[in-house]
């Protein structure tokens, strides 16, 4: 059986991955990692912050640019919150992400993918990345 990956071990993996070059630390068991991400050759550069602690889901925030501003008066698709912009990258009730998985090999590539579809959405109003939205009755906040 796989072992849980600690925030420290996640930090090492993020640091050594060629697609999440950036800076970060682990303090009091909380991982903070910031890096620049360009989803495609014609994409912009987005500043991303990932925070993570044991037994929690990784939290992915787009620090800049402000996606709300880019979206104008449209609602952002597939986010947990808009201020700050927190991305919903996986289905929580599946094993797409578990405590045994490396953030650098799941959350990070999914962030690239999310932003690729986001830019397409910005230009066309079409979200081609598929996915699930919580049921309407659950979604009302």
Choose the stretch contacting other proteins; rule: CB under 8 A; options: 1-9, 25-33, 47-55, 99-107: 99-107
Q: How far is the CB of 111 from other proteins (least distance, A)?
A: 9
Q: Please, which residue, 24 or 39, has the CB nearer to other proteins?
A: 39
- Residues of this chain, 120-139, that bind other proteins according to CB under 8 A: 120, 122-124, 126-134, 136, 139
- The reply to whether omega before 65 is within 30° of 0 (cis) is yes
Long-range pairs for 18-26: beta carbons < 8 A, 24 or more residues apart:
19/104, 19/108, 19/109, 19/112, 20/104, 20/108, 24/50
Q: How far apart are CA 119 and CA 37, in angstroms?
A: 13
- Residues of this chain, 48-87, that bind other proteins according to CB under 8 A: 70, 75-80, 87
Q: Which residues contact 94 (CB under 8 A, 6 or more apart)?
A: none
Q: Please, which residue, 59 or 106, has the CB nearer to other proteins?
A: 106
Question: In this structure, what DSSP letter does residue 44 have?
Answer: -
Chain-centre distance for alpha carbon 12: 18
Interface with other proteins (CB under 8 A): 17-19, 21, 37-45, 70, 75-80, 87-92, 94, 96-97, 104-106, 108-110, 112-114, 116-117, 119-120, 122-124, 126-134, 136, 139
């Amino acid at each position: 059986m796989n072992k849980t990956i600690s925030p420290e071990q996640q930090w090492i993996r993020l640091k050594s991955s060629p697609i999440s070059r950036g800076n970060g630390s682990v303090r009091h068991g909380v991982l903070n990692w910031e890096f620049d991400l360009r989803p495609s050759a014609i994409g912009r550069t987005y500043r991303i912050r990932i925070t993570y602690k044991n037994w929690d889901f990784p939290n992915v925030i787009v620090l800049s640019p402000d996606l709300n501003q880019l979206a104008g008066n449209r609602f952002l698709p597939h986010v947990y919150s808009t201020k700050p912009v927190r991305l919903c990258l996986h289905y929580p009730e599946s094993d797409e992400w578990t405590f045994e998985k490396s953030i650098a090999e799941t959350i990070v590539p999914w962030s690239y993918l999310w932003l690729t579809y986001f830019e397409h959405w910005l230009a066309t109003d079409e979200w081609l990345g598929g996915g699930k939205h919580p049921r309407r009755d659950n979604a009302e906040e």
